[in-house]
Chain A
Amino acid sequence: MFSILASLLLGNTAAAGSAVLEGVHDALRFAPELAAALCLWSAVTELLERSGVGADLARLLRPPLLRLFPRGAADPGTLAALSENLSANMLGLGNAATPAGIRAARGLARLQARSELNTLVVLNTASVQLLPTTAASLRASLGSAAPFDITPAVWVSSILSLLAGLVLIRLLNRAPS
Protein backbone atom coordinates (compact mmCIF):
# COMPACT_ATOMS: atom_id res chain seq x y z
CA MET A 1 0.00 0.00 0.00
CA PHE A 2 2.81 2.31 0.98
CA SER A 3 4.63 1.37 -2.23
CA ILE A 4 1.61 2.22 -4.38
CA LEU A 5 1.28 5.63 -2.73
CA ALA A 6 4.97 6.26 -3.32
CA SER A 7 4.72 5.36 -7.00
CA LEU A 8 1.67 7.63 -7.41
CA LEU A 9 3.42 10.50 -5.68
CA LEU A 10 6.57 10.14 -7.70
CA GLY A 11 4.69 9.64 -10.98
CA ASN A 12 6.05 6.23 -11.90
CA THR A 13 2.71 4.47 -12.21
CA ALA A 14 3.39 2.87 -15.59
CA ALA A 15 5.97 0.46 -14.18
CA ALA A 16 3.90 -0.40 -11.09
CA GLY A 17 1.52 -2.93 -12.70
CA SER A 18 4.19 -5.08 -14.29
CA ALA A 19 6.40 -4.82 -11.20
CA VAL A 20 3.75 -6.50 -9.04
CA LEU A 21 3.32 -9.43 -11.42
CA GLU A 22 7.07 -9.88 -11.82
CA GLY A 23 7.44 -9.95 -8.04
CA VAL A 24 4.85 -12.69 -7.60
CA HIS A 25 6.45 -14.60 -10.46
CA ASP A 26 9.89 -14.35 -8.79
CA ALA A 27 8.55 -15.64 -5.48
CA LEU A 28 6.85 -18.65 -7.09
CA ARG A 29 9.83 -19.50 -9.29
CA PHE A 30 12.09 -19.44 -6.26
CA ALA A 31 9.89 -21.62 -4.01
CA PRO A 32 10.85 -25.13 -5.29
CA GLU A 33 14.58 -24.49 -4.90
CA LEU A 34 14.05 -23.06 -1.45
CA ALA A 35 11.98 -26.13 -0.54
CA ALA A 36 14.85 -28.42 -1.59
CA ALA A 37 17.42 -26.62 0.58
CA LEU A 38 15.10 -26.25 3.58
CA CYS A 39 14.10 -29.93 3.49
CA LEU A 40 17.71 -31.10 3.28
CA TRP A 41 18.83 -29.03 6.27
CA SER A 42 15.79 -29.75 8.35
CA ALA A 43 16.42 -33.45 7.71
CA VAL A 44 20.08 -33.21 8.78
CA THR A 45 19.15 -31.20 11.88
CA GLU A 46 16.53 -33.78 12.82
CA LEU A 47 19.20 -36.50 12.52
CA LEU A 48 21.51 -34.54 14.84
CA GLU A 49 18.73 -34.04 17.35
CA ARG A 50 17.69 -37.70 17.40
CA SER A 51 21.34 -38.72 17.78
CA GLY A 52 21.38 -36.88 21.10
CA VAL A 53 23.57 -33.95 20.06
CA GLY A 54 21.10 -31.61 21.75
CA ALA A 55 21.45 -33.41 25.10
CA ASP A 56 25.28 -33.34 24.86
CA LEU A 57 25.19 -29.65 24.10
CA ALA A 58 22.83 -29.01 27.01
CA ARG A 59 25.37 -30.61 29.38
CA LEU A 60 28.15 -28.41 28.01
CA LEU A 61 26.02 -25.32 28.56
CA ARG A 62 25.45 -25.87 32.29
CA PRO A 63 28.44 -23.82 33.58
CA PRO A 64 27.62 -20.55 31.73
CA LEU A 65 23.95 -20.96 32.63
CA LEU A 66 24.80 -21.25 36.33
CA ARG A 67 26.50 -17.88 36.09
CA LEU A 68 23.80 -16.14 34.04
CA PHE A 69 20.86 -17.53 36.02
CA PRO A 70 21.99 -18.10 39.61
CA ARG A 71 18.44 -18.25 40.98
CA GLY A 72 16.88 -20.12 38.06
CA ALA A 73 19.67 -22.69 37.97
CA ALA A 74 19.08 -23.54 41.64
CA ASP A 75 15.76 -25.08 40.56
CA PRO A 76 16.41 -28.37 38.66
CA GLY A 77 13.33 -28.14 36.41
CA THR A 78 14.10 -24.55 35.40
CA LEU A 79 17.77 -25.37 34.77
CA ALA A 80 16.78 -28.27 32.50
CA ALA A 81 14.39 -26.02 30.55
CA LEU A 82 17.05 -23.29 30.28
CA SER A 83 19.70 -25.64 28.89
CA GLU A 84 17.21 -27.28 26.52
CA ASN A 85 16.16 -23.84 25.25
CA LEU A 86 19.72 -22.70 24.62
CA SER A 87 20.92 -25.94 23.02
CA ALA A 88 17.89 -26.05 20.70
CA ASN A 89 18.57 -22.45 19.69
CA MET A 90 22.20 -23.29 18.94
CA LEU A 91 21.15 -26.19 16.70
CA GLY A 92 18.65 -23.96 14.93
CA LEU A 93 15.64 -25.93 16.19
CA GLY A 94 13.20 -23.06 16.64
CA ASN A 95 10.29 -25.47 17.11
CA ALA A 96 11.98 -27.10 20.10
CA ALA A 97 13.53 -23.93 21.52
CA THR A 98 10.31 -21.99 22.09
CA PRO A 99 8.43 -24.55 24.25
CA ALA A 100 11.55 -25.09 26.40
CA GLY A 101 12.06 -21.33 26.65
CA ILE A 102 8.46 -20.86 27.77
CA ARG A 103 8.89 -23.52 30.47
CA ALA A 104 12.05 -21.73 31.61
CA ALA A 105 10.25 -18.35 31.61
CA ARG A 106 7.42 -19.79 33.75
CA GLY A 107 9.97 -21.30 36.11
CA LEU A 108 11.76 -17.97 36.52
CA ALA A 109 8.42 -16.21 37.05
CA ARG A 110 7.52 -18.69 39.78
CA LEU A 111 10.89 -18.05 41.45
CA GLN A 112 10.19 -14.31 41.11
CA ALA A 113 13.54 -13.95 39.34
CA ARG A 114 12.44 -10.90 37.38
CA SER A 115 15.88 -9.79 36.19
CA GLU A 116 16.77 -13.34 35.13
CA LEU A 117 13.60 -13.46 33.05
CA ASN A 118 14.81 -10.31 31.27
CA THR A 119 18.15 -12.03 30.66
CA LEU A 120 16.40 -15.10 29.22
CA VAL A 121 14.36 -12.92 26.85
CA VAL A 122 17.45 -11.03 25.64
CA LEU A 123 19.31 -14.33 25.21
CA ASN A 124 16.50 -15.50 22.95
CA THR A 125 16.31 -12.29 20.91
CA ALA A 126 20.01 -12.65 20.08
CA SER A 127 20.54 -15.62 17.82
CA VAL A 128 23.24 -18.06 18.91
CA GLN A 129 23.16 -20.57 16.06
CA LEU A 130 26.11 -22.89 15.43
CA LEU A 131 25.13 -23.49 11.80
CA PRO A 132 23.13 -20.77 10.00
CA THR A 133 21.06 -23.38 8.12
CA THR A 134 18.26 -21.06 6.98
CA ALA A 135 20.55 -18.33 5.62
CA ALA A 136 22.74 -21.00 3.99
CA SER A 137 19.67 -22.70 2.49
CA LEU A 138 18.67 -19.41 0.89
CA ARG A 139 22.17 -18.96 -0.49
CA ALA A 140 22.29 -22.55 -1.80
CA SER A 141 18.96 -22.20 -3.56
CA LEU A 142 20.18 -19.00 -5.25
CA GLY A 143 23.27 -20.78 -6.62
CA SER A 144 25.99 -19.86 -4.11
CA ALA A 145 29.33 -21.65 -4.65
CA ALA A 146 29.80 -22.40 -0.92
CA PRO A 147 26.60 -21.59 1.02
CA PHE A 148 28.12 -22.23 4.46
CA ASP A 149 31.20 -20.04 4.03
CA ILE A 150 29.35 -17.27 5.92
CA THR A 151 29.39 -19.40 9.10
CA PRO A 152 32.46 -17.80 10.79
CA ALA A 153 31.07 -14.34 10.01
CA VAL A 154 27.73 -15.32 11.57
CA TRP A 155 29.56 -16.50 14.71
CA VAL A 156 31.46 -13.22 15.07
CA SER A 157 28.34 -11.14 14.57
CA SER A 158 26.20 -13.33 16.89
CA ILE A 159 28.77 -13.30 19.68
CA LEU A 160 29.24 -9.52 19.52
CA SER A 161 25.50 -8.85 19.57
CA LEU A 162 24.92 -11.43 22.31
CA LEU A 163 27.59 -9.81 24.48
CA ALA A 164 26.13 -6.35 23.84
CA GLY A 165 22.65 -7.59 24.79
CA LEU A 166 23.82 -9.36 27.96
CA VAL A 167 25.93 -6.43 29.18
CA LEU A 168 23.08 -4.01 28.54
CA ILE A 169 20.40 -6.06 30.27
CA ARG A 170 22.74 -6.49 33.23
CA LEU A 171 23.14 -2.73 33.50
CA LEU A 172 19.43 -2.10 32.98
CA ASN A 173 18.49 -4.76 35.57
CA ARG A 174 20.58 -2.92 38.14
CA ALA A 175 19.15 0.50 37.33
CA PRO A 176 16.19 1.52 39.49
CA SER A 177 12.93 1.45 37.51
Chain B
Amino acid sequence: MRVLGQLTVPLLILAAALGAAVKGVDIFDAMSAGAKKGLLILWGILPSLLVVFPAIRLLRASGLPELLGAALRPVFALLGVPEETGLLMLLRPLSGSGALAAATELMQRHGPDSLIGRTAAVMLGSSETSFYVIAVYFTAAGIRDDGRALPAALCADLVCFLASAWICRVLWG
Protein backbone atom coordinates (compact mmCIF):
# COMPACT_ATOMS: atom_id res chain seq x y z
CA MET B 1 0.00 0.00 0.00
CA ARG B 2 2.80 2.38 0.93
CA VAL B 3 4.83 1.49 -2.18
CA LEU B 4 1.71 1.90 -4.27
CA GLY B 5 1.14 5.31 -2.71
CA GLN B 6 4.67 6.40 -3.58
CA LEU B 7 4.35 5.10 -7.12
CA THR B 8 1.04 6.87 -7.82
CA VAL B 9 2.57 10.16 -8.89
CA PRO B 10 5.31 8.89 -11.25
CA LEU B 11 2.96 6.29 -12.75
CA LEU B 12 0.23 8.86 -13.35
CA ILE B 13 2.63 11.20 -15.11
CA LEU B 14 4.05 8.34 -17.18
CA ALA B 15 0.57 7.12 -18.16
CA ALA B 16 -0.56 10.65 -19.10
CA ALA B 17 2.59 11.21 -21.21
CA LEU B 18 2.31 7.80 -22.96
CA GLY B 19 -1.39 8.33 -23.66
CA ALA B 20 -0.67 11.76 -25.11
CA ALA B 21 2.20 10.38 -27.24
CA VAL B 22 -0.08 7.68 -28.68
CA LYS B 23 -2.70 10.29 -29.57
CA GLY B 24 -0.07 12.51 -31.19
CA VAL B 25 -0.52 15.41 -28.77
CA ASP B 26 2.28 18.00 -28.60
CA ILE B 27 3.42 17.09 -25.08
CA PHE B 28 5.66 20.09 -24.49
CA ASP B 29 3.04 22.53 -25.66
CA ALA B 30 0.27 20.92 -23.57
CA MET B 31 2.36 20.77 -20.41
CA SER B 32 3.59 24.35 -20.66
CA ALA B 33 0.02 25.54 -21.24
CA GLY B 34 -1.02 23.53 -18.15
CA ALA B 35 1.84 24.93 -16.06
CA LYS B 36 0.73 28.42 -17.04
CA LYS B 37 -2.75 27.62 -15.72
CA GLY B 38 -1.13 26.41 -12.48
CA LEU B 39 0.63 29.76 -12.10
CA LEU B 40 -2.65 31.58 -12.74
CA ILE B 41 -4.33 29.52 -9.98
CA LEU B 42 -1.55 30.51 -7.58
CA TRP B 43 -1.86 34.14 -8.65
CA GLY B 44 -5.57 33.93 -7.91
CA ILE B 45 -5.25 32.44 -4.43
CA LEU B 46 -2.09 34.21 -3.21
CA PRO B 47 -3.96 37.34 -2.05
CA SER B 48 -6.27 35.13 0.02
CA LEU B 49 -3.32 33.30 1.53
CA LEU B 50 -1.79 36.66 2.45
CA VAL B 51 -4.97 37.66 4.28
CA VAL B 52 -6.10 34.37 5.80
CA PHE B 53 -2.73 33.24 7.18
CA PRO B 54 -2.17 36.37 9.30
CA ALA B 55 -5.87 36.44 10.24
CA ILE B 56 -5.70 32.90 11.59
CA ARG B 57 -2.45 33.65 13.46
CA LEU B 58 -4.07 36.72 14.93
CA LEU B 59 -7.19 34.84 15.89
CA ARG B 60 -5.12 32.14 17.57
CA ALA B 61 -3.03 34.73 19.41
CA SER B 62 -6.24 36.32 20.70
CA GLY B 63 -7.21 33.19 22.60
CA LEU B 64 -10.73 33.18 21.18
CA PRO B 65 -10.42 29.73 19.50
CA GLU B 66 -9.59 28.12 22.86
CA LEU B 67 -12.70 29.68 24.40
CA LEU B 68 -14.95 28.67 21.52
CA GLY B 69 -13.26 25.30 21.21
CA ALA B 70 -13.89 24.56 24.86
CA ALA B 71 -17.52 25.61 24.52
CA LEU B 72 -18.15 23.58 21.37
CA ARG B 73 -15.96 20.60 22.20
CA PRO B 74 -18.89 18.34 23.18
CA VAL B 75 -20.65 19.05 19.85
CA PHE B 76 -17.55 18.28 17.77
CA ALA B 77 -16.81 15.19 19.87
CA LEU B 78 -20.36 13.95 19.34
CA LEU B 79 -20.05 14.39 15.56
CA GLY B 80 -16.56 12.89 15.51
CA VAL B 81 -15.13 15.92 13.70
CA PRO B 82 -11.80 17.44 14.83
CA GLU B 83 -12.65 20.84 16.35
CA GLU B 84 -9.62 22.39 14.60
CA THR B 85 -11.47 22.07 11.27
CA GLY B 86 -14.31 24.36 12.44
CA LEU B 87 -13.06 27.43 10.57
CA LEU B 88 -12.45 25.39 7.39
CA MET B 89 -16.01 24.02 7.45
CA LEU B 90 -17.41 27.50 8.01
CA LEU B 91 -15.45 29.00 5.09
CA ARG B 92 -15.84 26.11 2.62
CA PRO B 93 -19.25 26.94 1.10
CA LEU B 94 -18.54 30.70 1.13
CA SER B 95 -15.05 31.20 -0.27
CA GLY B 96 -12.96 28.78 -2.32
CA SER B 97 -9.64 30.53 -1.77
CA GLY B 98 -10.43 31.24 1.90
CA ALA B 99 -11.11 27.55 2.50
CA LEU B 100 -7.96 26.60 0.62
CA ALA B 101 -5.92 28.94 2.80
CA ALA B 102 -7.55 27.62 6.00
CA ALA B 103 -6.90 23.99 4.97
CA THR B 104 -3.29 24.85 4.11
CA GLU B 105 -2.81 26.45 7.49
CA LEU B 106 -4.17 23.34 9.24
CA MET B 107 -1.92 21.01 7.23
CA GLN B 108 1.09 23.22 7.88
CA ARG B 109 0.45 23.44 11.63
CA HIS B 110 -0.44 19.79 12.25
CA GLY B 111 1.51 18.20 9.39
CA PRO B 112 0.06 17.02 6.05
CA ASP B 113 0.17 13.36 7.14
CA SER B 114 -1.49 13.92 10.54
CA LEU B 115 -5.13 12.97 11.08
CA ILE B 116 -6.18 16.62 11.21
CA GLY B 117 -4.12 17.43 8.10
CA ARG B 118 -5.64 14.55 6.18
CA THR B 119 -9.16 15.39 7.33
CA ALA B 120 -8.66 18.97 6.14
CA ALA B 121 -7.37 17.77 2.75
CA VAL B 122 -10.28 15.34 2.27
CA MET B 123 -12.85 17.98 3.26
CA LEU B 124 -11.28 20.42 0.81
CA GLY B 125 -11.02 17.87 -1.99
CA SER B 126 -14.56 16.54 -1.76
CA SER B 127 -16.58 19.76 -1.59
CA GLU B 128 -17.21 22.91 -3.59
CA THR B 129 -17.89 26.61 -2.99
CA SER B 130 -21.67 26.07 -2.91
CA PHE B 131 -22.84 29.70 -2.62
CA TYR B 132 -20.66 30.76 -5.53
CA VAL B 133 -21.81 27.87 -7.76
CA ILE B 134 -25.49 28.58 -7.02
CA ALA B 135 -25.09 32.29 -7.75
CA VAL B 136 -23.23 31.68 -11.03
CA TYR B 137 -25.65 29.07 -12.39
CA PHE B 138 -28.91 30.81 -11.59
CA THR B 139 -27.59 34.14 -12.85
CA ALA B 140 -26.38 32.53 -16.08
CA ALA B 141 -29.66 30.71 -16.63
CA GLY B 142 -31.62 33.90 -16.01
CA ILE B 143 -33.99 32.04 -13.69
CA ARG B 144 -34.78 33.07 -10.15
CA ASP B 145 -33.56 30.64 -7.52
CA ASP B 146 -36.65 28.97 -5.99
CA GLY B 147 -34.75 28.36 -2.73
CA ARG B 148 -34.47 24.61 -3.17
CA ALA B 149 -30.87 24.25 -4.38
CA LEU B 150 -29.25 26.00 -1.40
CA PRO B 151 -30.60 23.79 1.42
CA ALA B 152 -29.82 20.66 -0.60
CA ALA B 153 -26.29 21.90 -1.34
CA LEU B 154 -25.58 22.89 2.27
CA CYS B 155 -26.89 19.56 3.59
CA ALA B 156 -24.64 17.80 1.07
CA ASP B 157 -21.71 19.87 2.38
CA LEU B 158 -22.52 18.85 5.95
CA VAL B 159 -22.67 15.20 4.91
CA CYS B 160 -19.33 15.72 3.15
CA PHE B 161 -17.65 17.08 6.30
CA LEU B 162 -19.04 14.33 8.55
CA ALA B 163 -18.12 11.65 6.01
CA SER B 164 -14.60 13.10 5.59
CA ALA B 165 -13.98 13.08 9.34
CA TRP B 166 -15.40 9.56 9.62
CA ILE B 167 -13.44 7.96 6.76
CA CYS B 168 -10.17 9.61 7.86
CA ARG B 169 -10.70 8.37 11.39
CA VAL B 170 -11.33 4.85 10.09
CA LEU B 171 -8.34 4.84 7.72
CA TRP B 172 -5.75 6.78 9.71
CA GLY B 173 -7.15 7.37 13.21
Minimal beta-carbon separation of B29 from chain A (angstroms): 9
Which residues from A are CB-within-8-Å of B9? Answer: 140, 147-148
User: Does A16 count as interface, using CB distance less than 8 angstroms?
Assistant: yes
Among A24, A47, A102, A135, the residue within 8 A (CB) of B137 is A102
User: Does A4 count as interface, using CB distance less than 8 angstroms?
Assistant: yes
Which residues from B are CB-within-8-Å of A38? Answer: 38-39, 41-42
User: Does A63 count as interface, using CB distance less than 8 angstroms?
Assistant: no
Q: Is A146 a contact of B8 with CB atoms below 8 Å?
A: yes
Q: Which of B48-93 contact A (CB under 8 A)?
A: 49-50, 52-64, 67, 93
Bound Cα distance A50, B82 (Å): 40
Which residues from A are CB-within-8-Å of B136? Answer: 98, 102
Among A9, A108, A136, A160, the residue within 8 A (CB) of B163 is A160
Bound Cα distance A146, B117 (Å): 13
Q: Which of B101-138 contact A (CB under 8 A)?
A: 101, 103-105, 107-108, 111-113, 117-118, 121-128, 130, 133-134, 136-138
Q: Is A41 a contact of B38 with CB atoms below 8 Å?
A: yes
Minimal beta-carbon separation of B89 from chain A (angstroms): 13
Q: Is A148 a contact of B127 with CB atoms below 8 Å?
A: no
Q: Is B126 a contact of A154 with CB atoms below 8 Å?
A: yes
User: Does A114 count as interface, using CB distance less than 8 angstroms?
Assistant: yes
Minimal beta-carbon separation of A89 from chain B (angstroms): 9
Q: List 21 A-B contacts (CB under 8 A).
A: A6-B63, A12-B62, A35-B42, A44-B34, A51-B19, A98-B136, A106-B142, A121-B133, A132-B122, A132-B126, A134-B124, A136-B125, A146-B5, A148-B5, A150-B121, A156-B167, A158-B125, A164-B156, A169-B152, A173-B148, A177-B148
Those 5 A-B pairs whose CB atoms lie nearest each other, nearest first: A23-B54, A46-B34, A165-B156, A132-B125, A146-B5
Q: Footprint of B on A, CB under 8 Å?
A: 2-4, 6-7, 9-10, 12, 15-16, 19-24, 26-28, 30-31, 34-35, 38-48, 50-53, 95, 98, 101-102, 105-106, 108-109, 114, 117-118, 120-122, 124-127, 129, 131-132, 134-136, 138-140, 142-154, 156-158, 160-162, 164-165, 168-169, 172-173, 177
